[in-house]
Amino acid sequence: MLKKIIFLLFITLLMSACSNGIKGVAEPPTVSVYGVKMANMSLSEGNLLVALRVTHPNAYALPLNGLDYKLSLNGVEIADGDKTKNFTIDANQDRIIEIPVTFSLLTLLRTIPGIVKTGRFTYDLSGHAHFPIVNLPFQRTGKVGAYR
């Protein structure tokens, strides 16, 4: 067991030292936004479930200690938070992790002038996945609405 822990620490140190990893030996995992769905809505707040896909390309399991995130619409930050839960990403596997995102409808109202003016809105979901010794960023941006 101690040998496995030492090996995992060694690989993690290598990954943090080399942002691209070592091809075929220790490549960094990737984190991407897999999907977003509305969970529920009240008069004061809304709740989304954001699914993140963590892809681990190496031949050993890797612990994930948690995630932090923020969501902006038209440049207005409407939500942020973190999920501190331990996960294990199996060797050569993908894992979908859902994070709850709660936002205030009052804050969301601040984005309406930009949406009315342009007929569209931009979104930016970003954050970090927390692995031992290294935090890997993820981000997804886009536009929804009419294009001129």
Residue 10's pLDDT band (cuts 50, 70, 90): very low
The whole-angstrom separation of Cα 102 and Cα 48 is: 6
Mind listing the pLDDT tens digit for each residue in 54-78? 888 989 888 989 889 998 888 889 8
0.75 exceeded by pTM: no
Phi and psi at residue 113, in whole multiples of 5°? Answer: -55, -40
CA dist 141 and 145 (Å) reads 14
Longest Cα–Cα distance of the chain, Å, equals: 60
pLDDT for res 17 = 45
Domains of the chain are 29-145 (2.60.40.10)
**CA–CA separation, 63 and 66 (whole Å):** 9
Rounded mean pLDDT of 80-92?
Answer: 88
DSSP letter, residue 28: P
